[in-house]
A and B are shown apart, each in its own frame.
Chain A
Amino acid sequence: MSARRSEPADMPVESCPACHAPNQHRRRRGHRLEMTGAPSLKIALVGSPNVGKSSVFHALTGRRVIISNYPGTTVDIFRGQAVFNSRPVEVIDTPGMYSLHSITEEERVARAILLQEKPDVVLHVIDAKNLERMLPMTFQLIEAGLPVIVVLNMMDEASAHGIGIDTGKLAAELGVPVIGTAASLGHGITELKQAILDYRAISLALPIVYDELIENAVADLKPLVSGSPPAERISSRSIALLLLRQDGQIRQSATEGEGSDGSRIDAIVDRARLSMNQAPAYVLAVAQQRAASKLAASVMSQQVPGRLRFGERLSRAMMHPFTGGLILAAVLYAMYFIVGVFGAGTLVGLLEEKVFGQLINPFFQNTLQNLIPIQLISDLFVGDYGIITLGITYAIGIILPIVSTFFIVFSMIEDSGYLPRLAMLIDRVFKFIGLNGRAVIPIVLGLGCDTMATIVTRTQETKRERVITTLLLALAIPCSAQLGVIFGILSVSTGMLLTWLGVVGAVFILVGWLASRIIPGQRACFYMEVPPLRLPRLSNVLQKTYARLEWYLKEVIPFFIVASVVLWAGDAAGLLDILISGLKPVVEFVGIPAEAAVAFVIGFFRRDFGAAGLYDLTAQGLLFGNALLVSAVVMTLFVPCIAQFMVMIKERGWKTAVAIAGFIFPFAFLVGLGLDRALKFLGVSL
């Protein structure tokens, strides 16, 4: 991705831009810098917010600062005057921008300054601690052919974090000067002023070569935009890339030039968009982020582990196979305590038994049975599969308190940055069993919702990978709601929970290992940036929990009502009895009471719905001990819910989906049978 090549069409060839060796072809801007006594040099500072841009600005300008509204906007601009080595200089501090592809008003103003004020030097101010995150915009500025100097600010903080950056190497790789500063302390400012005065080189190296579809579209667009107004300031390559990102402003100004043909530009952009799976904007952003990670890794050095801060040590421990496993166990234990003991025990006890069991359901049962004389109809609401007694009771009385506590814990985990570390840990296990690391993301996603995770498997390259991941998702990954309810059911004993975890984990590893043997394929490497760990913020946790609950209530309540109606109709038509009596011998053979057959049938509607059925049986005292554990294991393995099954058909085709289901149904019961017999053989009764 980050291979470099020169681009002869756009600009004249120059010599090494990093060491500023003299060369014969110089752009006009370069000449202007050399003329002594020339009018003031114009310098623009760009960069994302919170990188210390204003301290660089103040360090360069001193006190003479004018604040003004940028014409036609509400955005404030800072301008300052200064003299460097007897040369007058004007410095403009632009509003924070994340990308040359502008979205916010601030970003539009910052870009307008770059395009219209024509600064002689553009200082891209970067937080040295976060080099990797900042580099994509550096690439964009270089692609645009702007006269960039990279200012690595906050070098003091970076070294306090144990981060060292090889500025010389970075300059050589980027093809532009790189100056390290700690502007708030005044460090590096003299060097920066000198670099500004010395500035002449224009980078000709391309920081990134994109994939073929993008590069072809760029090649087609370049001649169409080379005469347009923005091309006076930024390279036609950059204009083409912005057009592919569907930048409305650039589209407008690029078609203003003489003889330009807007419809031809649109046709090329549309063709490129249609030929790609994802929006070009994302393909570009991903390529830039990857190149940034690669470059950052090659110029950054972290100090020896002995001096690492606690957070960094914890982060590494989380990804280490052994300590990572221990930390995962601790996280699961905390989750068990909050979700299982508090959510499923205390809260459900209160809601399901007290509120629904003693107040709501008896009330509706009495009123409706009196009001509606026909039992069939009143059953629709308050019967065994009634909308109120089954659908609403399960959804609000059992699952809601469990998922609420689960979502709180999950939001905390998510906000802390633990998930990517968990993915790295799983990646190591995957490597051990010979599975592709790219399966990690769908698997972790599956813990949220297996249906969506199944759709995501299409991001995997080979059919083999997609089939294995789909199988593992359907078999051994419980979705968040189901996981919560199962935690709740098994909260009666830690031993039971551990056995469940062990059995499901072993099945996952065994099936994954076997599948990777039977359907072998190339193992690709797994790329991910691991963001820093942090303490979860209350506002974020509340916001995410609230959003997830809102989503859950909106999506799931109607589903439960529909499921109750279908079950009621199936019951009335006698179909349910046939299905249950068919399952009964299998269920009993495995050591599960016959009543649980209903839970398996309704589990097909939604995974959590089935688990709630088991919960109900447990609460009624019908399901306990070994049978409870076996049911929970079978329920976890057995059910891909109806939505997931439909997506499996859609994504993998009929044959594969049916084959997977045909393997899972008997296999789940086989594992249950094995577990039941093993427990009996060992004389264990939980």
Chain B
Amino acid sequence: MNDASADRIKCPFCGFEFDAASGTAYCGSCPMGKSCRLVRCPNCAYETPAEPKLFAAIKKLRRKR
């Protein structure tokens, strides 16, 4: 979660921009617990998947080149 935490996510539902690290406000009360990688928009509560590690790694590689 080091790089991803600094990433801004634009909610595909309401257009609100937020940083990925804080899209987990509701997770404590969800029975699915830690296994889910969805982040929740603080404005409208819509869930989007966080950037998968694989994709983050690919992006990094491409940036380095």
Contact = CB atoms under 8 A, between A and B. Distances in A.
Contact of B26 (A420, A455, A528, A646): A455
A282 B42 contact: yes
A192 to B, nearest CB: 27
Given A103-B8, A547-B50, A551-B36, A286 B31 contact: no
Given A103-B8, A441-B46, A551 B38 contact: yes
Contact of A445 (B25, B30, B45, B55): B45
Interface string A89-102: 00000000010000
Contacts, number: 112
Contacts of A651: 29
A452 B26 contact: yes
Nearest to B25: A278
Given A455-B29, A528-B14, A543 B44 contact: no
A451 B32 CA distance: 9
A414, A448, A455 interface centre (most CB from chain B within 10 Å): A455
Nearest to A290: B43
Given A455-B26, A544-B48, A98 B17 contact: yes
Interface in A3-40: none
Contacts of B37: 547, 550-551
A649 B10 CA distance: 32
Interface string A451-477: 110011001000000000000000000
**A interface SS class:** helix
Given A98-B17, A419-B13, A455-B26, A554 B42 contact: no
B12 A417 contact: yes
Contacts of A546: 52, 54-55
A281 B8 contact: no
A285 B13 contact: no
Interface in B2-45: 6, 8, 10, 12-19, 22, 25-26, 29-32, 35-38, 42-45
A646 B33 CA distance: 13
A167 to B, nearest CB: 24
A279 B13 CA distance: 20
Contact of B18 (A285, A543, A643): A285
A415 interface: yes
Nearest to B35: A555
A320 interface: no
Contact of B42 (A286, A529, A543): A286
B20 to A, nearest CB: 11
14 contacts: A282-B18, A282-B25, A289-B16, A419-B13, A445-B47, A451-B30, A451-B31, A451-B32, A452-B26, A456-B26, A543-B55, A551-B37, A554-B35, A647-B29
